[in-house]
Structure formats: C-alpha cells, structure tokens
A and B are shown apart, each in its own frame.
Chain A
Amino acid sequence: MNEEGKKISAWQLFFDDISMLFLIGLVIPTILYLLWGVMEYANAPIASITP
C-alpha cells in the first residue's frame, strides 16, 4: 500500500520477492533435469553377458 491507498498487484510483489524466485529457480531444474535424469541412469537395466 502507498499513500494513495492503492494496492500493489500481487504479481508485482511476487516478482520483487527474489528469494521466492530463487527457490523456484532451483527446484524446477533440480527435479526435472537432475533428479529425473539420475533416476533414469540408476534404474536402467544392465545387460547380462549371454550374447
């Protein structure tokens, strides 16, 4: 709120909240890229040696 009593848009407040942006920015690639990728490599089948 400022002198005029008009409310600042919630989006504007969200964009000003660097720590929230920081958090989301870390979580998205960690899950979508790193964790998902590591899971795929970890869970891939290993060939058994009978040609």
Chain B
Amino acid sequence: MAITSPETYWWKPADKEEKLWITIAIVWCLILFTMMPLWHIVGGQNPSVEPLKIRPKDYEKISDAFIEKYKIGEESGIPVVKPPDGADVYLRGQMWNWMPILELKKGVNYKFHISSIDLMHGFSLQPLVMNFQIVPGHDNILNITPTSSGTFHIICNEFCGINHHTMVGKIVVKD
C-alpha cells in the first residue's frame, strides 16, 4: 500500500499501458514546448520584448511632453492626443486614469510605451481583452497596429488603490 514501505526491489519496468501513456504524454509535452518559441517567432502578438527601465519621474516628463505636443482637445478633463503616423506613443497609468485619450489611425503601426508613475496598473484593452502588467520603473514597449476602427476602452485590472475600479481609458481608431 501507499502508506507502507514498498518491497525491497521496486525499481521495475513499467507496464505496457503505462509506457504507452507516458510516451504519449512526453510527445505532447514536446509538441507544446516546441510551440512556445515557434509561436513567439511566427505569431504576430507577443508581450514586450524590448527591455527598458525608466524612472517614473522621467517617464512623467516624457509623456507630458508627448501630450503637450500632439494634443487636439479635451474630453471630461482628460487630454485627447493624436500622434502622427508611426510615432512613439506614451500611455501613462496613474491613479486613477489612463492618460491621455488616444486617437489613432487604422493600419498604422505605433510604438507604445506604457508605464506608470505611481503604483502597478493593469492595462486591459476592451472589448479585445488584451492584458499587460504595467510596472512603475519599467517601460512596457509594444508595437501595436490597430486593425479595425472604432472605440476601445482600457480598464485597469491590477489593484491600484481605493478608486481602482473607476480607472478607464479610451482609444479611438479612425479609418
């Protein structure tokens, strides 16, 4: 029994059925594993691959400059920014909004720099449901090409203080 010591020589070959199952399992593991780098190389969507640290103070300055430069208006007190095609886009998580509201063009590639100037935030793009951990001190760099037009929202899905559940941002993609 499993609660008593086994016989003296227990290192014995497995049965046919066990061997078959284990072989299938190993093959499956190998397939799954091979898919990981393969998918990373062949697939079009990966988490950030460019390592970059950035001091929250510096990030705040850079993203303020970005907002100032490309601001086209304001909505409920939040700046609306329309960056030029292919620009570096700074999207800032802060207690408790995503700054600024972005207006982007369909089919154009933008280099997003998402970071936080205070706590951890959770970038969660709706309704596509794409999620990234936003960490103060680190630049989450993502190359994003909007492939459909419309209004998208960013909710926060990492706890960031008492008003965490009110943190919503917006991206408008135009044709």
Contacts and interface: CB of A to CB of B under 8 A. Distances in A.
Contacts of A49: 55, 58, 61-62
B9 A9 contact: yes
Interface string B39-68: 000000000000111110011011001100
Interface residues of B, number: 17
A6 B66 CA distance: 77
B10 interface: yes
A11 B58 contact: no
A24 interface: no
A12 B52 CA distance: 48
11 contacts: A2-B8, A6-B9, A8-B8, A8-B11, A15-B11, A47-B52, A47-B54, A47-B59, A47-B62, A49-B55, A51-B62
